[in-house]
């Protein structure tokens, strides 16, 4: 009897995942420990990126609790002097426009409602410049961390509520590629965001079948802990099974613009480190399967002797080449296609993206 019924897995992936469940279901042999799988979240368990979607949602709704002085500090944090010089025009214009928005916007102490603020030149410049600043290639670690500092002065519960609202907002729009361009003093910046985030029914069903069969499901993500917990809960994955990036909070659980220490940062090599730190001691064994889509997942995809699955995105060839260079047989890797324009997996290994 077919175990996985949703339609868009490739036949090879469907067969492999079905066999994984059938072979390991209710198999809690003490010598091996309870079986489990690990999945990346953004662009693997869902279509597009939860953190980037929430970032745009924050701009759309001006969800900030920062004075202009503190906002100026936040957007420069973790940048070197040379990096600040590269984007000095963006920083200047963002700060100038945010100061005006802060003065005028009703929720920040002014008289204008959100729809009125969004008609102003300052808001348009702020939107474009923020999008370009936060997509500027400062490096994967810097990008993942800095975006979280914008939550400062929100409680974890409020971030969870904002995330829920951003999911509803995302699902109301068609999947789309949105390009932001900003020109200033002869310099140009360009940023691409993919909006219209979607859940993946195939992944939801697979994770649920695993859990029903006694196979634990863990998420290892470079997005914010609370954000991923909200998303994972929609798939039935408990919060305690989420390994993601955390920031410090005060005694009232309000976020501070400071990374939380104490366990590996789940970014790049930190993903594999987090699995070794948190899951290997708990289970006494390596995962049965690791899923990912990009070089951000490379360490956790290659550090363990298990089944590997890649979702086909623009990153696929780079990941496959890197795996080949360390001697991994590419025929052993599961590749799952998807269609960005439809916002869903597709039953072949192709990737259909926006032109």
pLDDT digits (tens, 9 = 90+) for 29-56: 656 689 999 999 999 999 999 999 999 9
Measured at the alpha carbon of residue 78, what is the angle toward residues 163 and 181, in degrees to the nearest 5? 65
Rounded to whole angstroms, the Cα distance separating 71 from 68 reads 5
pLDDT of residue 31: 60
For the stretch 94-138, pLDDT in tens is 999 999 999 999 999 899 999 999 999 999 999 999 999 999 999
φ, ψ for residue 191 (rounded to 5)? -135, 140
Query: To which CATH superfamily is domain 11-48+198-352 assigned?
Result: HAD superfamily/HAD-like (3.40.50.1000)
182, 128 Cβ separation under 8 angstroms: yes
In angstroms, the Cα distances linking 158 to 153, 163, 227, 300 are 10, 8, 11, 31
Query: In angstroms, how far is CA 341 from the centroid of its own chain?
Result: 19
Q: Is the pLDDT of residue 213 over 70?
A: yes
pLDDT of residue 307: 97
| Closest alpha carbon to 39 in 319, 288, 326 | 288
Task: Tell me whether strands 247-249 and 242-245 are parallel, antiparallel or unpaired.
Answer: unpaired
Q: How confident is the model at residue 261 (pLDDT cuts 50, 70, 90)?
A: confident
Task: For residue 7, give every residue at least 6 positions away whose Cβ sits within 8 Å of its Cβ, in sequence order, or none.
Answer: 202, 347
Where along the chain do the CATH 3.40.50.1000 domains lie?
11-48+198-352
Q: How confident is the model at residue 143 (pLDDT cuts 50, 70, 90)?
A: confident
> Average pLDDT, whole number, for the chain?
95
pLDDT of residue 33: 84
- The residue count of the chain comes to 355
Provide the H-helix boundaries in the chain.
11-24, 50-61, 68-76, 81-86, 88-104, 114-117, 121-134, 140-146, 156-171, 201-212, 225-233, 269-274, 280-283, 298-302, 316-325
- Three-state secondary-structure class, residue 22: helix
Q: What is the mean pLDDT of residues 228-257?
A: 96
For the stretch 49-91, pLDDT in tens is 999 999 999 999 999 999 999 999 999 999 999 999 999 999 9
Where along the chain do the CATH 1.20.1440.320 domains lie?
50-195
Measured at the alpha carbon of residue 221, what is the angle toward residues 219 and 227, in degrees to the nearest 5? 90
Residue 274: count of CB within 10 angstroms of its CB = 23
What fold, for 50-195? de novo design (two linked rop proteins) (1.20.1440)
Q: Which residue has the tokens 């916007």?
A: 105
Rounded to whole angstroms, the Cα distance separating 315 from 312 reads 7
In angstroms, the Cα distances linking 271 to 43, 53, 81 are 16, 22, 29
pLDDT of residue 278: 96
End-to-end alpha-carbon separation of the chain, Å? 40
Rounded to whole angstroms, the Cα distance separating 19 from 175 reads 32
The overall pTM is greater than 0.85: yes
């Amino acid at each position: 009897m077919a175990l996985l019924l949703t339609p868009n897995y490739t036949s090879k992936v469907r067969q492999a995942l079905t066999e994984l469940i059938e072979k390991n279901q209710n198999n809690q042999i003490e010598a091996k420990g309870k079986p489990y799988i690990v999945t990346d979240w953004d662009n693997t368990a869902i279509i597009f990126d939860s953190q980037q979607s929430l970032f745009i949602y924050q701009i759309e709704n001006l969800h900030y609790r920062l004075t202009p002085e503190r906002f100026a500090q936040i957007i420069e944090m973790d940048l070197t002097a040379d990096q600040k010089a590269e984007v000095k025009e963006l920083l200047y214009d963002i700060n100038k426009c945010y100061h005006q928005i802060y003065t005028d916007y009703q929720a920040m102490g002014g008289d204008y409602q959100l729809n009125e603020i969004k008609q102003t030149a300052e808001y348009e410049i702020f939107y474009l410049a923020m999008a370009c600043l936060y997509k500027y290639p400062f490096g994967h670690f810097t990008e993942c961390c800095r975006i979280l500092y914008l939550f400062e002065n929100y409680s974890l519960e409020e971030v969870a509520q904002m995330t829920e609202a951003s999911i509803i907002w995302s699902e109301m729009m068609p999947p789309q590629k949105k390009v932001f361009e900003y020109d200033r003093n002869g310099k140009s910046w360009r940023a691409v965001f993919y909006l219209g985030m979607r859940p993946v029914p195939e992944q939801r069903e697979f994770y649920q079948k695993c859990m029903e069969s006694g196979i634990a499901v863990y998420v290892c993500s470079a997005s914010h802990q609370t954000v991923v917990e909200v998303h994972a809960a929609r798939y039935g994955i408990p919060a305690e099974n989420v390994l993601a990036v955390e920031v410090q909070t005060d005694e009232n659980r309000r976020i501070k613009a400071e990374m939380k220490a104490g366990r590996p940062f789940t970014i790049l090599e930190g993903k594999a480190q987090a699995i070794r730190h948190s899951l290997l001691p708990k289970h006494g064994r390596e995962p049965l399967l690791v899923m990912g889509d990009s070089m951000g997942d490379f360490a956790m995809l290659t550090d363990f002797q298990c089944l590997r699955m890649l979702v086909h995105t623009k990153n696929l060839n780079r990941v496959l080449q890197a795996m080949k260079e360390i001697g991994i047989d590419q025929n052993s890797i599961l590749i799952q296609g998807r269609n960005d324009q439809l916002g869903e997996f597709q039953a072949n290994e192709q990737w259909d993206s926006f032109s």
